[in-house]
Chain A
């Protein structure tokens, strides 16, 4: 167990290195002279070399990368071209709303998804099952920015129950979190259902039935606990999509989060901001996956790792 955990943690390191190279390389892939694009300065201008150095674009590409990583470890992600503030500080200010959305959405979708999935599996091939599968298909297929607008139309504009802007109060948080959560409910319902149906056909369940264990105990103690492993992985993966998907919800509800920061950065061609936010989001995703992997090796001792 400890050996596996250590190995899994070590495996993440090359991943993070390659990831940092890709994010670093992003700016090089932009057609044209990055200094010119970002600062609007002509090559002939006197301040060209100064700006080039300030953006860390002088020297060979290897030198640039090493310097960039060194600065990262010092907590320096460069300065936003648009707001002139340090990128890391800006990200710090905007991380909380996105985290609230992603965590809230994950918790909500896990509760609903697991409940739906369990119910569908227990009532396999009956009306409840079909109904829940159709519902989850609709949830998966509706773009979050569309369901957000529908929810605003109903609960903010018509009924006037909930605000449609910001994340200031718990009341304001309801619609954004529900919107984001709904996108993940469908896939979690399906994963839970199919995982339960797989487990139910295993020998040890048949043995439990033969021994006369009550159905309720079989479903919740024997089947559900074992069916939970693929569901956990799925929740971990979903968390990443919700982190990125929060971008759309932040846009609709005018929440100043990380995703909105990224989109504005792309719009303003503010590349230090784009690099910083992409890096932070991707690293969070990799780390969450690592934690999930470690968690389920703790939950299920049967998992063998090679």
Chain B
């Protein structure tokens, strides 16, 4: 299917279209926003703590006098880069494992399937916490936790698709015509699994933002004073009574981004392949 055809179908769902624009806006802010902020994200001004909403501080300042809007903008960089790097690398590994298991079957499949089962035996957030327990905290380790978090579900989905594709006539025809395994896998099997993979990646991005911010909120992910959104919420909760915006701003930012990824994922699913109906955002909490 061409890009134009997908775009034409995607445009029809207005909620998904709006969500896409919101995401593009947030990406733009994350990319260029830091060049326009008046303050540094960790710049303290104790004389100016709990400053009310004003032109100088559009979202006020926190208990250390740091400008919340500035921190929110820098935080979008941290949160989004963790989500993208984590999900893309995790999904890459997931796709690889899924293809290997689905296409080669036998002991390869058994081995990989058991691995998936074990990873899925850790409910939701527990897997991420266990990984951080091994690796320690920090931005990179949070990314790795997010990546491993994405592997099992992606591998399972791709494995299923590959198994159903493997026995179809066009793949068997390729085998008969002497195409190499690599060519069959990349040219024929993967292209047909692509729409499902794209949709899963989009939905995973949303749940990864939730997972990464949950880790940081627990004090196990990105550490303060780094303005990751979950870490901001954690710092803000102590002074919620005097400065509710310190909690509302990062909390709403997380929620809006997660909702948007979910809506874009739904739109993509309908646009790419209306038959894929029952894929949902994987709740991480």
Contacts of B118 in A (CB 8 A): 15, 18-19, 22
The verdict on B2 contacting chain A, using a C-beta distance below 8 Å, is no
* Complexed CA–CA distance, A251 and B234 (Å): 10
Contacts of A265 in B (CB 8 A): 133
Contacts of B114 in A (CB 8 A): 18
Closest residue of A by beta carbon distance from B261: A141
Closest residue of B by beta carbon distance from A267: B219
- Contact in complex: B133, A137 (CB < 8 Å): no
The verdict on A285 contacting chain B, using a C-beta distance below 8 Å, is yes
* Complexed CA–CA distance, A74 and B117 (Å): 27
- Contact in complex: A143, B213 (CB < 8 Å): yes
The verdict on A240 contacting chain B, using a C-beta distance below 8 Å, is yes
Chain A, interface residues (CB within 8 Å), range:
35 or more
Partner of A251, one of B133, B218, B255, B259: B218
Per the 8 Å Cβ criterion, residues 91-137 of B in contact with A are: 114, 117-118, 121-126, 129-130, 132-134
Closest residue of B by beta carbon distance from A147: B251
Contacts of A263 in B (CB 8 A): 129, 218-220
Partner of B217, one of A140, A243, A251: A251
A239 smallest CB distance to B (angstroms): 8
The verdict on A106 contacting chain B, using a C-beta distance below 8 Å, is no
Contacts of A142 in B (CB 8 A): 251, 255, 258
Contacts A140-B281, A248-B285, A263-B129; A30 near B121 (Cβ below 8 A): no
A119 smallest CB distance to B (angstroms): 19
The verdict on A244 contacting chain B, using a C-beta distance below 8 Å, is yes
A94 smallest CB distance to B (angstroms): 15
Partner of A184, one of B233, B254, B283: B283
Q: Which of B118, B122, B233, B277 has the most CB of A within 10 A?
A: B122
Per the 8 Å Cβ criterion, residues 1-48 of A in contact with B are: 15, 18-19, 22, 26, 29-30
Contacts of A18 in B (CB 8 A): 114, 117-118
- Contact in complex: A274, B210 (CB < 8 Å): no
Partner of B241, one of A141, A157, A240, A282: A157
The verdict on B162 contacting chain A, using a C-beta distance below 8 Å, is no
Contacts A149-B233, A244-B123; A143 near B285 (Cβ below 8 A): yes
* Complexed CA–CA distance, A152 and B278 (Å): 35
Per the 8 Å Cβ criterion, residues 187-244 of B in contact with A are: 206, 210, 213-214, 217-220, 230, 233, 237, 240-241, 244
Contacts A137-B259, A241-B283, A278-B130; A248 near B278 (Cβ below 8 A): no
Contacts of B129 in A (CB 8 A): 244, 247, 262-263, 266, 278
Partner of A267, one of B122, B220, B233, B254: B220
Contacts A22-B118, A140-B283, A144-B285; A244 near B206 (Cβ below 8 A): no
The verdict on A79 contacting chain B, using a C-beta distance below 8 Å, is no
The verdict on A110 contacting chain B, using a C-beta distance below 8 Å, is no
Contacts of A172 in B (CB 8 A): none
The verdict on B165 contacting chain A, using a C-beta distance below 8 Å, is no
- Contact in complex: A282, B123 (CB < 8 Å): yes
B237 smallest CB distance to A (angstroms): 6
Contacts of A278 in B (CB 8 A): 122, 126, 129-130, 133
- Contact in complex: A150, B121 (CB < 8 Å): no
* Complexed CA–CA distance, A161 and B54 (Å): 32
The verdict on A145 contacting chain B, using a C-beta distance below 8 Å, is yes
* Complexed CA–CA distance, A9 and B138 (Å): 40
Contacts A243-B123, A263-B219; A140 near B262 (Cβ below 8 A): yes
* Complexed CA–CA distance, A244 and B283 (Å): 12
Partner of A143, one of B130, B214, B240, B280: B214
Contacts of A26 in B (CB 8 A): 130, 133-134
Mark each residue of chain B from 132 to 147: 1 if its CB lies under 8 Å from any CB of chain A, else 0: 1110000000000000
Mark each residue of chain A from 228 to 264: 1 if its CB lies under 8 Å from any CB of chain B, else 0: 0000000000001101110110011000000000110
Closest residue of B by beta carbon distance from A249: B285
- Contact in complex: A145, B217 (CB < 8 Å): yes
The verdict on B247 contacting chain A, using a C-beta distance below 8 Å, is yes
Partner of B121, one of A187, A245, A286: A286
Partner of B254, one of A146, A241, A262: A146
* Complexed CA–CA distance, A152 and B263 (Å): 29
- Contact in complex: B237, A252 (CB < 8 Å): yes
- Contact in complex: B240, A153 (CB < 8 Å): yes
Q: Which of B219, B283, B284 has the most CB of A within 10 A?
A: B283
Contacts A183-B283, A252-B237; A247 near B123 (Cβ below 8 A): no
Contacts of A140 in B (CB 8 A): 262, 281, 283
Mark each residue of chain A from 45 to 66: 1 if its CB lies under 8 Å from any CB of chain B, else 0: 0000000000000000000000
* 4 closest cross-chain pairs (CB), A and B: A240-B123, A146-B251, A241-B124, A141-B258
Given A143-B213, A146-B233, output 19 extra A-B contacts at Cβ < 8 Å.
A15-B117, A19-B118, A19-B121, A22-B118, A26-B133, A30-B134, A137-B263, A141-B255, A141-B258, A143-B258, A149-B237, A152-B240, A187-B283, A194-B277, A247-B125, A265-B133, A274-B133, A282-B121, A286-B121
Q: Identify 5 residue pairs between A and B in the complex whose beta-carbon atoms are under 8 Å apart, listed by A's number.
A: A22-B118, A187-B280, A244-B122, A252-B237, A267-B219
